[in-house]
Structure 1
């Protein structure tokens, strides 16, 4: 079985790495992803997050677009409550003008960092996440050069003008996000790597409630999945402990400045609470060789009717990250 595969890159800082180096590694990853046959490369947005280096995905995509030619490029996602819908439309029009027919406007409502970062982005004003559906509607209008009449400035055009308009993808980690995407007739990407428990329900809600729209006639469901792939199941298991420790530290409110090496992860005391959390968190992580990881990915896609999987491999070295993506591509991409 073959399937559509894409990459969601959080630009993690690897063991003994730096933020600056990780961004250049993201450029290399995107170029190789195009060679390996991945359909999309999406850059994530994070703020005040010690181990993740991309704060402005649109800037990173501009660099990557100049060094690739066919792979689709998107924000995974642009966190709309931090910004005005008008400014977001301008950003996507700029990217579309530079790389026509290759841009995805991935939109999310998560904070993407600590509360203090959210306040800093809004100069002290609390985020009003309840406005996200309204912002989404405004964005769709401005992206398609339509006025937003409820505002005195609603006749303003979000330039530059482009002959093609990027499709808007809703990114979410809950049934609520699935329902919103379905109600607007938009494609939806579910963050399985964040919320494995609601995966099946979110897929069902999206398909059952989908309303055809002028943006999309049929539902389009993609799933973002965390994967650790290596030459053998045993090596993948050893590598996955680094992911376990990074996730656990973030859960405890003590995010690490880098993905820890396997030695540090192996030396960690995994008894008691930490062991319980490791077991629970593994439910949203696929670990194994290309054959075993590929089999689990195919089963997940079949169960949820996902037309595409977007992979995340946040491993402790740049080389192991590249290997993980390459092995899966060789297993599943024709």
Structure 2
């Protein structure tokens, strides 16, 4: 058995760097990933954050597609709660016309930011909140050039043009049993974000739920992508020190909504932006860390435990040269398990 190897890059802005430099590093990484035979390369969506440079995956995807030849490029992911499924479908259909067979549409369930940016993205309160599942269903129909057949439906006959030779591939991202069950019920490939969960038991339950409940009339088989954060260093001890910086901090709002942040700095920013009551739950993030040998052994054991179809790596390293080195060493080290 084997799995595909892919990369997620969040375009991080590190100390003494600009957003323009961070985006240039993303370009260098996608070129390197293509040369090394990585299957796909995804970019993330973050709003009003000093530490990440990309609020608009579709814009960055267009640029990266133009700078590469064959690697699949997509979103990890578009935060659909903010947007019209119709406009998202139009954007990604257009991308798929420009680069047929190379575009992925990963959809995230989180806001991608904090209260201030969420208010700005959704400035007009709506009495009728459209459930995310309904948005996903419509998005799935639109990217596959299907339309509502009920003439009484206000969207009867709606189609998202242009129609590409090959539609973008739709994925659901998540870190819970609920997200896994949603992906299974809708018949979508599922991306489990291990570092967001912070819980081995949830990971096991989520993948089991997806595999047992999956049903699709369109997708030939279920598809699991395991998304992991990775830190590599010269020694296990140095990697351990770096990994200690990362936390999963769950914020439970009084209205029932839940957010996750990865550092105390981000938690402090959240508290500055909200007057709502909340409680928090804090635990250490699950990060694959260690020397190269240790990291490779951990990734191999992870595959033997979960037998995922694809491994998507996010490199939590603070210089471009470190990320490029890790990209190469992980690809070489997993070569006997990786299919191109």
TM-score by length of 1: 0.86
Q: Is the 8 A contact 1:230 1:327 kept in 2?
A: no
Provide the C-alpha distance between the structure 1 equivalents of 2:303 and 2:2, rounded to a whole number of angstroms. 11
Partner in structure 2 of residue 320 of structure 1 = 322
**1:270-309 correspondence to structure 2 within 5 Å:** 280-282=283-285, 284-309=286-311
Q: Given that residues 225 and 311 in structure 2 are in contact (C-alpha distance below 8 angstroms), is that contact kept between their aligned partners in structure 1?
A: yes
1:329 equivalent in alignment to 2:331: yes
Mapped contact 1:5–1:309 kept (Cα < 8 A): yes
Matched residue SS, 1:147 = coil
Determine the structure 1 residue equivalent to 2:34. Answer: 34
For residues 149-298 of structure 1, what are the structure 2 equivalents within 5 Å? 149=150, 151-197=153-199, 198-214=202-218, 216-241=219-244, 243=246, 247-250=262-265, 252-254=267-269, 280-282=283-285, 284-298=286-300
Query: Which structure has the highest helix share of the two?
Result: 1
Indicate the SS of the match to 2:232: strand
Residue aligning to 1:104: 104
Q: Post-superposition shift, 1:128?
A: 7.5
Deviation track 1:288-325 (CA, whole Å, cap 9, x = no partner) reads 12221111112112212211111111322222222222
- Residue 271 of structure 1 is matched in structure 2 by none
Q: Which runs of 5+ in 1 are unaligned?
A: 256-275
The corresponding residue for 2:60 is 60
Structure 1 distance, partners of 2:127, 2:314, is: 27
> 1:75: which partner in 2?
75
* Contact residue 45 and residue 54 of structure 2 kept, 8 A: yes
The 2-side partners of 1:43 and 1:202 are apart by 23
Aligned residue in 2 for 1:262: none
CA distance in 2, matches of 1:127, 1:177: 25
**Contact between 2:47 and 2:113, CA under 8 Å: does it hold in 1?**
yes
- Is 2:2–2:309's contact at 8 Å kept on the other side of the alignment? no
User: Residues 95 and 303 of structure 1: is their aligned pair in 2 closer, same or farther, counting only changes over 3 Å?
Assistant: same
| Residue 126 to residue 172, structure 1, CA distance change in 2 (3 Å) | farther
SS of 1:322's equivalent in the other structure is helix
Cα 1:11–1:128, aligned 2, differ >3 Å: closer, same or farther? farther
Q: Mean alpha-carbon deviation: is it higher for 131-140 or for 298-307?
A: 298-307
CA distance in 1, matches of 2:179, 2:38: 25
Find the counterpart in structure 2 of residue 311 from structure 1: 313
For the residue of structure 1 that corresponds to 2:284, the secondary structure is: helix
Determine if contact 1:47/1:55 at 8 Å carries over to the other structure: yes
Match of residue 264 from structure 1: none
Count of residue pairs the alignment pairs up: 310
Task: Determine if contact 2:192/2:226 at 8 Å carries over to the other structure.
Answer: yes
| SS in structure 2 of the partner of residue 16 of structure 1 | coil
Name the SS for the 1:293 alignment partner. Answer: helix
Choose 160-169 or 145-154, whichever is displaced more. 145-154
Post-superposition offset of 1:250:
4.1
Q: Classify 1:98/1:127 alpha carbon distance in 2 versus 1 (closer, same or farther; 3 Å).
A: farther
RMSD in angstroms over aligned alpha carbons?
Answer: 2.4
Alpha-carbon distance in 2 for matches of 1:95, 1:72: 12
Q: Name the CA distance, whole Å, in 2 between partners of 1:154 and 1:294.
A: 51
Q: CA deviation at 1:234?
A: 3.9
CA distance change for structure 1 residues 187 and 201 in 2, over 3 Å: closer, same or farther? same
Deviations 1:142-185 (CA, angstroms, capped at 9, x unpaired): 11222134642432321112121122111111111100110111
Q: How much has 1:253 moved relative to structure 2?
A: 2.6
Deviation digits for residues 72-129 of structure 1 (CA, Å, limit 9, x no counterpart): 1111011111111111110110110111101111112210100221110011427977
Question: How far did 1:141 drift?
Answer: 1.1
1:201, distance to aligned residue in structure 2 (A): 0.7
